[in-house]
C-alpha cells in the first residue's frame, strides 16, 4: 500500500492492526513513523499509550507483551519498533501478527532490506498486515522529486537550482527535505526558490559546485575547470572529490547512452536516458566535444581516479592534484 493511502486512512481514523514498513528508502519509512508517533494519539493519550522500541535493544517477548496491553483512557495504543532490522529473533513476532489485538497499532520499521519473501513471516505479512515496501529512488528521478516536493507546498523552484541541490546532496531524501524546509522558512512571502537562495540558505555556491564543474568539463572549458578546482581546494565542503567523480561519471555515462540512441531528438533523449529536459542540450553539446571512443576512455579514467581517491596507487597526491590530472587527461586532444 502506498504511503499516501496509509496516511489518508489514518486521517479518516481507519486503522489496521499491523503495519510493516521495509526496504531500501528510509525517507518514506521515517515519514510514516514520524506521523504515527506525533499524530495518531492526542497529547493527553501519548504518555500511557505510545511505546517505542529500538531494534538493537528490543526483546521480542517485551514487544508482544506491550502489544497485548489495553489502551489507557483511549481507544487505541501505538507500539513502534524502530530499526527493526537489528532486532534479534524478529520471526518470534509471528504469533502476535497472526492474531493481533484490534486496539493496538503495531508499526515495524525494517530499513535497508526486505524480509525474505520465502519465509513464513513474509507470507503471513501479506495476509495479516499492511506492508509498505520501498526502493531507493533512481538518481535520475531526484530532480522530479525535488520539484514535486516544492510544488506540493505551493512553491516554485528554478530547474538549475534543483540540479545544484541534487548534485551536491545526492540521493538522500531526508537531507534534501531538511535543507528545503530550512530554506522555505527564510523565504518570507516569496514563492520562487532561486540559485541565490540555494547559496544563501543551504550554503551551496551557485558558481562553484559539482554541477557547474561538470558543465565546465562538458564544454571543454579548461580555464574555468582549473579555477574551480582551486576554489574547491580552499573550500573543501563546496564540492569534495568524492562528490565530483560520481557526478562526472554519471554525466559521461549518459553521453555514452546518447551515442547509443543515435538520435538528436531532445524529447526522446530526455525520456530514454533520464535527463532533466532543461539540460538535455548540455549533454548533446558534449557529444560535439567528445567522440564516442573518447567518452569510453573518459569513463575508464574516472574509474581509475576513483580508486586513487581511496588510496590505491595514489602516492602523495592531493584531491586537487588528482582532479587537475583528470581534467587534463579528459580534455587531451590526442585521443579524439
Name all domains of the chain by residue range, CATH numbers in brackets. Answer: 3-134 (3.40.50.300), 139-202 (1.10.8.60), 210-330 (1.20.272.10)
β 130-134/156-157 pair status = unpaired
In this model, does residue 30 exceed pLDDT 60? Answer: yes
| pLDDT for the residue numbered 27 | 94
- What is the 8-class DSSP label of residue 186? T
In this model, does residue 253 exceed pLDDT 80? Answer: yes
In the numeric block, which cell numbers belong to residue 286? 558534449
3-state secondary structure at position 68: helix
In the numeric block, which cell numbers belong to residue 154? 505551493
Torsion of CA 76, 78, 181, 158, to 10 degrees: -80
In this model, does residue 74 exceed pLDDT 90? Answer: yes
In the numeric block, which cell numbers belong to residue 228? 574551480
| pLDDT for the residue numbered 335 | 55
Query: In the chain, what percentage of residues exceed pLDDT 90?
Result: 73
Report pLDDT digits (tens) over 98-136.
999 999 999 999 998 888 888 898 899 999 999 999 999
Q: If you average pLDDT over residues 34-61, what whole number do you get?
A: 93
In this model, does residue 275 exceed pLDDT 90? Answer: no
Report pLDDT digits (tens) over 312-328.
877 778 899 999 999 99
Quick check: 50 and 41 in contact, CB under 8 A?
A: yes
- What is the 8-class DSSP label of residue 81? E
Query: How many CA atoms does the CB half-sphere of 109 hold within 13 Å?
Result: 24
In the numeric block, which cell numbers belong to residue 161? 537550482
Q: What is the CA radius of gyration of the chain?
A: 25
The gap between the terminal CA atoms of the chain, to the nearest Å, is 51
Q: If you average pLDDT over residues 176-185, what whole number do you get?
A: 94
Kind and range of the H or E element at 314? none
Instruction: Find cell 528508502 and name the residue.
Output: 25
Q: Note the pTM of the prediction, 2 decimals.
A: 0.78
In the numeric block, which cell numbers belong to residue 24? 531500501
In the numeric block, which cell numbers belong to residue 194? 532561486
In this model, does residue 263 exceed pLDDT 90? Answer: no
Quick check: 165 and 198 in contact, CB under 8 A?
A: yes
Quick check: 319 and 240 in contact, CB under 8 A?
A: yes
Quick check: 49 and 71 in contact, CB under 8 A?
A: yes
* CA dihedral sign of residues 231, 236, 239, 240: positive
| pLDDT for the residue numbered 334 | 61
In whole numbers, what is the pLDDT of the chain averaged over residues?
A: 91
- What is the 8-class DSSP label of residue 209? S
* Widest pairwise Cα distance in the chain: 79
In the numeric block, which cell numbers belong to residue 36? 504515527
Amino acid at each position: 500500500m502506498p504511503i499516501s493511502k496509509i496516511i489518508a486512512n489514518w486521517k479518516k481514523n481507519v486503522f489496521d492492526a499491523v503495519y510493516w514498513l521495509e526496504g531500501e528508502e528510509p525517507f518514506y519509512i521515517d515519514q510514516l513513523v514520524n506521523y504515527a508517533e506525533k499524530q495518531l494519539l492526542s497529547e493527553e493519550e501519548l504518555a500511557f499509550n505510545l511505546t517505542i522500541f529500538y531494534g538493537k535493544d528490543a526483546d521480542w517477548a517485551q514487544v508482544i507483551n506491550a502489544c497485548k496491553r489495553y489502551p489507557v483512557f483511549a481507544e487505541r495504543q501505538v507500539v513502534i519498533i524502530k530499526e527493526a532490522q537489528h532486532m534479534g529473533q524478529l520471526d518470534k513476532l509471528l504469533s502476535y501478527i497472526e492474531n493481533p489485538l484490534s486496539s493496538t497499532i503495531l508499526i515495524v520499521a525494517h530499513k535497508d532490506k526486505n524480509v525474505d519473501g520465502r519465509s513464513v513471516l513474509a507470507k503471513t505479512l501479506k495476509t495479516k498486515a499492511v506492508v509498505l515496501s520501498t526502493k531507493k529512488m533512481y538518481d535520475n528521478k531526484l530532480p522530479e522529486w525535488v520539484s514535486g516536493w516544492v510544488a506540493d507546498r505551493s512553491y516554485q523552484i528554478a530547474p538549475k537550482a534543483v540540479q545544484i541541490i541534487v548534485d551536491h546532496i545526492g540521493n538522500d531524501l531526508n537531507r534534501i527535505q531538511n535543507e528545503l524546509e530550512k530554506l522555505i522558512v527564510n523565504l518570507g512571502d516569496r514563492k520562487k526558490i532561486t540559485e541565490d537562495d540555494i547559496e544563501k540558505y543551504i550554503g551551496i555556491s551557485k558558481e562553484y559546485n559539482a554541477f557547474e564543474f561538470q558543465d565546465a568539463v562538458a564544454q571543454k572549458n579548461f580555464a574555468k575547470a582549473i579555477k574551480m578546482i582551486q576554489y574547491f581546494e580552499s573550500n573543501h565542503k563546496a564540492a569534495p572529490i568524492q562528490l565530483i567523480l560520481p557526478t562526472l561519471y554519471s554525466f559521461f555515462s549518459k553521453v555514452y547512452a546518447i551515442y547509443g540512441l543515435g538520435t538528436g531528438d531532445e524529447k526522446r533523449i530526455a525520456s530514454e536516458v533520464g535527463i532533466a529536459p532543461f539540460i538535455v542540450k548540455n549533454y548533446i553539446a558534449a557529444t560535439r566535444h567528445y567522440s564516442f571512443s573518447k567518452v569510453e576512455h573518459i569513463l575508464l579514467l574516472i574509474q581509475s581516479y576513483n580508486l586513487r581517491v581511496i588510496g590505491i596507487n595514489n602516492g602523495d597526491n592531493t584531491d586537487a592534484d588528482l582532479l587537475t590530472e583528470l581534467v587534463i587527461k579528459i580534455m587531451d586532444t590526442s585521443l579524439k
